[in-house]
């Protein structure tokens, strides 16, 4: 499940991922990403991961979303208590040209937001 985070700076889109993630979650997320892209030209993404439990359809939607927004998502802050996940996502991001991804521990949420504010 994706939950939108309210109260962030206008140019940062934030979500919390928890519980089971389904295709319907992406149906709700895609319009938010599109709005960010239209308003700001690029997407700064704050993602707090509580739990990862994807259905097969959700994995496919994640893949399609990644391809669709390949050039638009420029910075991603991953906030989680799962170090393996933080490091895996940072490593994967190394192969995506132009995208900056950084992992943060749960108690470093504010630091993650500051990092997003200061990077394009």
pTM > 0.85: yes or no: yes
Per-residue model confidence (pLDDT) at position 114? 96
Q: List the domain boundaries for the chain.
A: 2-113
Nearest to 8 by CA among 114, 80, 105, 88: 114
Mean pLDDT of the chain: 87
Indicate the fold that domain 2-113 takes in CATH.
Transcription Regulator spoIIAA (3.30.750)
Q: Which residue has the tokens 């709005």?
A: 35
Share of the chain above pLDDT 70, in %: 98
pLDDT-based confidence at 97, cuts 50/70/90? confident
pLDDT at 110 over 80: yes
pLDDT tens-digit series, residues 52-91: 787 888 888 887 887 788 889 889 999 988 877 767 777 7
Sign of the torsion formed by the C-alpha atoms of 69, 71, 72 and 75: positive
């Amino acid at each position: 499940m994706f939950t939108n985070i309210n109260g962030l700076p206008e140019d940062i889109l934030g979500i919390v991922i928890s519980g089971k993630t389904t295709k319907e979650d992406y149906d709700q997320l895609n319009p938010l990403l599109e709005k960010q892209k239209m308003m700001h030209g690029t997407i700064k993404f704050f993602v707090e991961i509580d739990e990862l439990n994807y259905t097969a359809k959700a994995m496919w939607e994640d893949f399609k979303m990644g391809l669709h927004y390949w050039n638009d998502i420029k910075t991603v802050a991953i906030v989680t208590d799962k170090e393996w996940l933080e490091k895996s996502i940072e490593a994967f991001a190394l192969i995506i040209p132009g995208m900056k991804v950084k992992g943060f521990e749960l108690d470093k949420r504010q630091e993650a937001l500051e990092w997003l504010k200061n990077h394009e």
